[in-house]
Structure 1
Amino acid sequence: MRALFCLIIAIWLACTPKSGNAHALDPGYLDLHQLTPGTWQVMWRIPDVNGQPMRIDAILPEACTPSHGPPPIFDSVAWVSSWVAECGAEIEGHTVRIRGLERQNNDVLLRVQPLESAISTLRFTPEEPALTLPIDPTTWSVFISYFWLGFEHILEGWDHLLFVFALFILVRDPWRLVGAVTAFTVAHSITLALATLGVLHVPAAPVEAVIALSIVFLALEILKHKEGQIRLSEQYPWIVCFCFGLLHGLGFAGALSEIGLPSQDIPAALLAFNLGVEAGQLTFIAGLSVGMFLWRQVARFNPSRLSGVTRPITGYVIGSVSVYWLVERVSGF
């Protein structure tokens, strides 16, 4: 029964991703950098949607001229618009709005860099497309913004989810599974910090390919599983997770580098992002566990009849998707 439930989830995960770039961390990004007491440099980064900028626009407070920028230019990743706004009054305490965000599923991060006060980071959501700029920003606001960014990233990053899902199938002991996921988080926290701070430089394309390869490895371990025999990856999964977590951290860093970190709150932002990723992973595992429990209560058949068939099929589904990603990413070199 567990195997059948896992097969259904594997097929769902396999059918959802539409491309080799499985990272879905693609929020908008608005940066307000004060140049003089009445002048602000604005950089507005809009996500790409099928070769066109997402239909959202940043609207500055009424005291600023112009309140929105020129048509954006595509930089191979997103659509970017920049301009200098003259604001006749202090913009702290005034409202910035993302027009059209209420019709989207993405978030928008806002970083405000005043001349004489601390940098603040805010987060627009479809439910809250307008925010009042804080007069006295705090580190806590940065922490909250980046925590949710990490949480949403892991729940929308299909390759990372497929890796965690493969672990869920491979490792039967709940505490060993939690330990493996935690080791994964510790490992990717190390490389994420090193890459984000500029200590470690690795091209993104090979990293994405190796991430797909890590899922292929877990799929093979699922297929090689035999009842009564515990493989090394099942007995010491934290070793496997730690090693591959170092690689996945580089993938997280590539996504996070597109957004940037607040210069005065880098430790808080990194910690919050990693805690958000860990919370997202544990939430995903908890959801799988609850779903499997409910499945057991509803299904009325002998699971032993299907487990010997559905587990290999699940492994083949995971392996097929990850091999497809691997080939697509390698061909993209």
Structure 2
Amino acid sequence: MTRFCLLIAALAFLCGSVTQSRAHALEPGYLEISALSDTTWRVFWSRPDVDGRAMDIQAVLPADCAPRSGPAPTFSNAAWTSGWIAVCTSGMTSGPLTIEKLEQTRTDVLVRYEIFPGEMRTSRLTPDQTGFIIEGETGWKSVLVAYVPLGFEHILSGVDHLLFVFALLLLISDGWRLVGAITAFTVAHSLTLAAATLGLVTLPPAPVEAVIALSIVFLASELLLRGKGAPRLSELYPWAISFSFGLLHGFGFAGALSEIGLPQWDIPLALLSFNLGVEIGQLGFVALVFAVGWAAKRVSGYPLHAITTPQTPASAVVAYAIGGVSAYWLVDRVAGFF
């Protein structure tokens, strides 16, 4: 009984923590430097919004450029943007390009830049690496290095996506059926991620985010009602459920990727790299869940299968916790329509 009470308290704390946070962490910053000539560049600088203000970071161009920083930003589409024309008489290799105060944050900045017109490159700056000297070879490696970590970080910061996967793990007890459901989810969101990013299909982001929350509410209800009478739809056709909702989750991934931007000279590789990062993060999360469950059972001896067994008190607590968090997201996102 004591362990069951501790489980309830832990889940209550988790719900309180999650509902106080956004479903996604701050989006990364984005800096694009386009060559107009051998000495002139157009600069576009986008910073995330933090409590109604631009994040306190600043892009600073190499020493020979003037101006090195841009004007005050304006708010546009959930980010703060500014643009300017920079003249660099010695080119873009006269010193490091840096993001000031990035080390004081927990976000990244994607940098796309041209040394000469048509030679676009990609780099990624983090709190641990806030600048770099523009030099070196261009090619597919720079795209992989930039976009795989972005996809990995996006799925790990997307609590709603991870909660959907977690609900699938609890709902499907058979190993092969679980593999099939996760594979269907992967295929589905990969398809819509590609289609939406390439502009083949478009959906407004606000309804997509609301329906993503609704998909988790649905899985929570399936967890709560399974074992009562006839088998649930998710028990009969788990791959169909995960594929259907995976299509919607792919639009959510595409929304984040569209804000980051894609290198026009190698869109397929960037798209593949971002999706690869998402899959690595998703598989890592699944492995972590199984590892934590195994370790908890070895240490405490608690029968964790009670959480996945239908109509047990522990499974009901988990279902209500998942449903409560996702219902909060649903109401919050629907309210955002107005």
Task: Give the TM-score taking structure 1 as reference length.
Answer: 0.92
Cα deviation digits, residues 244-269 of structure 1 (max 9, x gap): 11111111111111111100111011
**Cross-structure match for 2:137:** 136
CA contact (8 A) 1:151 1:279 kept: yes
1:149-160 matches, within 5 Å, as 149-160=150-161
Q: Which amino acid aligns with 2:331?
A: V
Q: Which moved more, 1:207-216 or 1:10-19?
A: 10-19
Select which of 309, 322, 325 maps to 1:321.
325
CA contact (8 A) 1:32 1:111 kept: yes
CA distance in 1, matches of 2:211, 2:4: 27
Q: Which has the higher contact order (CA 8 A, sep 6+)?
A: 1
Shift in Å, 1:72: 1.3
Shift in Å, 1:90: 2.1
Cα deviation digits, residues 45-69 of structure 1 (max 9, x gap): 1111111111111111001111111
CA distance in 1, matches of 2:217, 2:157: 20
Shift in Å, 1:302: 5.7
CA contact (8 A) 2:23 2:158 kept: yes
Q: Which moved more, 1:15-24 or 1:233-242?
A: 15-24
Cα deviation digits, residues 273-312 of structure 1 (max 9, x gap): 1111111111111111111111001114566888611101
Identity %: 50
Shift in Å, 1:189: 1.2
Alignment of 1:58 with 2:59, yes or no, is: yes
**Cross-structure match for 1:310:** 314
1:61-76 matches, within 5 Å, as 61-76=62-77
Cα deviation digits, residues 158-177 of structure 1 (max 9, x gap): 11011111111111234432
Gapped regions of structure 2 (runs ≥ 5): none
CA contact (8 A) 2:35 2:117 kept: no
**Cross-structure match for 1:42:** 43
**Cross-structure match for 2:111:** 110
RMSD (Å), alpha carbons:
2.6
1:156-171 matches, within 5 Å, as 156-171=157-172
Q: Which amino acid aligns with 2:89?
A: G
**Cross-structure match for 2:99:** 98
Shift in Å, 1:4: 9.2
Gapped regions of structure 1 (runs ≥ 5): none
Cα deviation digits, residues 209-261 of structure 1 (max 9, x gap): 11011101100110112299754423532211111111111111111111111
1:267-278 matches, within 5 Å, as 267-278=268-279
Q: Which amino acid aligns with 2:327?
A: V
Cα deviation digits, residues 150-206 of structure 1 (max 9, x gap): 110010011101111111111123443233222212111111111111111111111
CA contact (8 A) 2:46 2:82 kept: yes
Moved segments of 4+, more than 6 Å: 1-9, 304-307
CA contact (8 A) 1:32 1:43 kept: yes
Q: Which moved more, 1:6-15 or 1:191-200?
A: 6-15
**Cross-structure match for 1:330:** 334
Q: Which amino acid aligns with 1:251?
A: G
